[in-house]
Amino acid sequence: MHRQLCDVCLKPIGDAQALFVNGKLVHLKCGEGITENGVTAAEKKWHSNCLRCSKCQRLLSSTFLYDKKGEPIDHDCFWGERLQNIVADSFKA
């Protein structure tokens, strides 16, 4: 099986991560190619101004975390989810 490689990072990509426009691999989020100032997160290549929290969609800074699905998430959303899980688990006991 032939796998397409990213023009930027040369890693195999899936259909959900990028697409081709006029023969060039482009970032799926905004439809523009990533040629410089790219950020790698969750094994995907992003424009630095397109990398957003998977929960609240706020622009992520240089420091962020990953949720249970491996998607980028900001600190407030990450710890908010953790706290909700802790509280929910305390009622189960």
Give the confidence band of 77 by pLDDT, cuts at 50, 70, 90: very high
Centroid of chain to Cα 54: 7
Q: Does the pLDDT at position 2 exceed 50? A: no
- Greater model confidence, 37 or 10: 37
Each residue's pLDDT tens digit, 24-72: 666 566 656 666 667 777 777 777 777 889 899 999 877 899 998 888 9
Give the confidence band of 74 by pLDDT, cuts at 50, 70, 90: very high
Alpha carbon of 78 to those of 16, 21, 26, 68, 82: distances in Å? 24, 35, 29, 9, 6
What mean pLDDT comes out for the span 60-87?
90
- pLDDT value for 88: 92
Stated pTM of the model: 0.58
Domain ranges of the chain: 1-48, 52-93
